[in-house]
Each structure stands twice: as structure tokens, then as C-alpha cells.
Amino acid sequence: MLRLRVSVAEKTLLLARSKQCGLTISDWVRSKAIDSRPVVKKASSDMEVFVRILAALGKCGSNLNQVARQLNRKQENFEFEVPIDAIDYLTKEFKEISAQLRKTLHGNRKG
């Protein structure tokens, strides 16, 4: 560990520049001082949104797979039914995910 004294203004500038590069301040300083490669690149806020949306899509896809499996079973066994609220839930989730994607993509076009 290396400690470094800087002014408040210098710290603010260092943090801003490291954030612009998507790096931790430690990785950014190392890259500038000794040309080292970053250990881990920080995810941008847009990337974090996309990761959350991707996780939500995965969850919905899994749920949809379960509904399809049960519908296939229904063909074999007429007593088994898929609850309509499960289909309503999945429809609502897909609409929310679509809205989040549109909002994020629309926000990127402004910049």
C-alpha cells in the first residue's frame, strides 16, 4: 500500500479522470505512473443497467420455459392447467424490461 498526499482539488481531479476511464483510482494512477494494466475495469452506470436487465430477462426466460413445459404437460394430462396469473406476470415483466431498455437506449442517444 502506498499513501499519497494530495489537495482536495487534486483528489477531485484524480477521481474524475479515473471515473472517465471506468477505472478505480488505484488502477488509473498505476496505469499513468508505471504503464500497468488495470486489474478490474469498473462497469459504467449504463453497463450496470444492462446487466440488471439481462438478469431480469434470464429470470423471465426461465419462468417462460416453466410455463411452456406445463403447457406441454397439459396436452398429455387434461387436468393440469397453467395459472393465467403466471402468464400475466411474465407479460408484465417483459413490458417493464422493454421499457427499461428503451429508456436506457434513449438516454444514450442524448449524449
Contact, 86 vs 67, CB < 8 A?
Answer: yes
**Residue among 86, 58, 56, 57 at smallest CA distance from 71:** 86
Chain segment 28-77, per-residue pLDDT in tens: 888 888 887 766 655 566 667 777 787 888 887 787 777 777 777 766 66
Same domain, 88 and 51: yes
Same domain, 76 and 101: yes
One domain for residues 86 and 50? yes
Same domain flag for 28 and 49: no
Per-residue cell: 58? 434470464
Same domain, 26 and 54: no
- Domain co-membership, 38 together with 58: no
Q: How confident is the model at residue 86 (pLDDT cuts 50, 70, 90)?
A: confident
User: Residues 6 or more apart from 60 whose CB is under 8 A from it?
Assistant: 90, 93, 94, 97
Domain identity same for 7 and 36: yes
Domain, as residue range, for 84? 45-110
Verify that 55 and 32 share a domain, yes or no. no
77 contact partners, CB below 8 Å, separation of at least 6: none
Alpha-carbon distance of 69 to 63, in angstroms, equals 10
Q: Count up the domains in the chain and report the number.
A: 2
